[in-house]
Amino acid sequence: MRKVFLILGLSVSVFSFSQNKEILYNFTTIPQTLLTNPGADISYKLYVGFPLLSGINFNVGSNSLSAYDIYGKTDISFEDKLKSIARKMTYNDRVSLNEQIDILNAGFKIGGADSKSYVYFGVYQEFDFLAYLPKDLINSAVGNTAINQINLIDINARAEMLMVYHLGFHKKINKKLVVGFRAKAYSSIFNFNSIHNSGGALVGLNGISGFSYTENQPNLVVNTSGITKYRTGSTSDVVGDIKNKLFLGENKGLGFDAGITYYPEKNKQFTASIIDVGYVKHAKEVQNYVVKEGTFGTNYPTIQDFLDDVDKVINPVLSKKNTLAYTTWHPIKVYSSYQYSFDEDRLDVECDCLNLDQETIYKNALGLQFFAMTTPKSPTVALTGFYKRRITHALQMKATYTLDTYSYSNIGLGLSSTFGKVNFYILADNLLAYNDLAKANSLSLQFGLNVIFVNTHNSNW
């Protein structure tokens, strides 16, 4: 049974998600770039995203293995594969999933003809999951080691599905500076949270006396909200509960995003943003489980005897759950970039429907981007080099190369087209892996449709 859970866990880690949107960030011909930087240099008279189709983000990745490591290599036994994977694990290996779908997204210019102020708003659904893989426990399960120090601090997991309502304000202060701010209201559908645990145990074979376990001040806390029906109800109950909470979640919170764009020279640009500084207060449908002390013995003839004793300790804990309110914080994301634009392209006003208030635009741009995201342990970071090209007045391209915890060979490509009033974009990374998806450590696909009415300004690259 332990190996079944291990296989499921490793398989999930192959299909794990990253929250870095390196191609979308500062791709200013796409309105959804405002979700990564409220202060991006972008402004339309009016844009409206197609409901449920304006922004769909799908990302997969693993920082330790690929599907090929588990299901490929037919000359190696399955058990040996598991042992090899477990030996290579580190304490920072994790499974992370993130999915985001725009339900509504729109923006419009406010003020007179010369105004540089802009308002945008929307609603999106998001699912976020993160769990660190307990290296010692996994190595013990596959038989790599006879004795291990299992630390409860290695048990770090959180999961949440929520709706996010946002309202943003964007203003071009002058030709050098653009600022933006967005307020957010979170409505949690369900939450699972178990981080900041401590304590540990020494387990293993104890000579001829059998299996032994020595406890060291356990402190394990599991907080949950909104999942009561999921534990006891049918599939229809679960689906119905999620539908009912999509717009009327009982556990709510607040947050904000902020960002800037600055031009020290007209062809040089700095950007920075901070995303999802916010919290959710969980007070409804709360069930918490706490293990502060145990009653395990010290020696067991077999591991099954030990597991039976674990049940005797855990079951009373599950029956003594409390309903105290708790607060969770959203993972904070930070972006920044430097861009150098070149190859001027001067256009007549009559034909430049995308840049009426710019004297100069550029065909090409090169730059670097930085990304970081908070986690219960060390932050997730990534560095991206990019090249942007205005292929035609209606078609733009962005190519990226990203170094992160998932891959050192992540090449991405994004295309944004605006024909008439319809904007369509598609962004994909780790393109080199598409010839053999089983060996891929990460993949990403984003696409969307918008209707843009009289685009009056769209950056100068």
Output the tens digit of pLDDT for each of the chain's 461 residues. 444 344 434 444 433 445 788 999 999 999 999 999 999 998 788 889 888 777 776 555 555 555 556 655 666 776 777 777 777 777 777 777 778 888 989 998 888 777 888 899 999 988 888 887 777 777 766 666 655 566 777 778 888 999 999 999 999 999 899 999 999 999 999 999 888 777 766 665 555 555 566 666 667 788 899 887 666 555 556 666 676 777 777 899 999 999 999 999 999 999 999 999 999 999 988 888 887 765 455 565 665 666 676 666 666 666 667 888 999 999 999 999 999 999 887 654 444 444 444 557 889 999 999 999 988 877 889 999 999 999 988 899 999 999 887 677 788 999 999 888 899 999 988 787 666 555 555 567 788 889 987 654 455 55
> Which pLDDT belongs to residue 197?
77
Residue at 206 is within a domain: yes
User: Is the distance from CB of 276 to CB of 331 less than 8 angstroms?
Assistant: yes
- 3-state secondary structure string, 91-112? CCCEEEEEEEEEEEEEEEEECC
Residue 442 neighbours by CB under 8 Å, 6+ apart:
18, 59, 60, 61, 62, 404, 406, 407, 410, 429, 430, 433
Residue at 460 is within a domain: no
Residue at 307 is within a domain: yes
Q: Give the total number of structural domains in the chain.
A: 1
Tell me the whole-structure pTM to 2 decimals. Answer: 0.80
347/359 Cα distance (integer angstroms): 8
User: Which residue is associated with the tokens 């866990």?
Assistant: 9
Helix orientation angle between 78-88 and 135-142, rounded to the nearest 10 degrees: 150
Residue at 461 is within a domain: no
Length of the chain, in residues: 461
Q: Which residues of 122-135 are buried (b: 16+ CB within 10 A; e: fewer)?
A: bbbbbbbbbbbbbb
User: Which residue is associated with the tokens 């539908």?
Assistant: 243
User: Is the distance from CB of 416 to CB of 399 less than 8 angstroms?
Assistant: no
Q: What separation, in Å, do the N-terminal and C-terminal C-alpha atoms of the chain show?
A: 57
Residue at 459 is within a domain: no
**Chain-centre distance for alpha carbon 215:** 35
CA triplet 275, 455, 116: central angle to 5 degrees? 60
Residue at 80 is within a domain: yes
Residue at 257 is within a domain: yes
Q: CATH code at 287?
A: 2.40.160.40
Residue at 131 is within a domain: yes
Q: Which domain holds residue 63?
A: 2-453
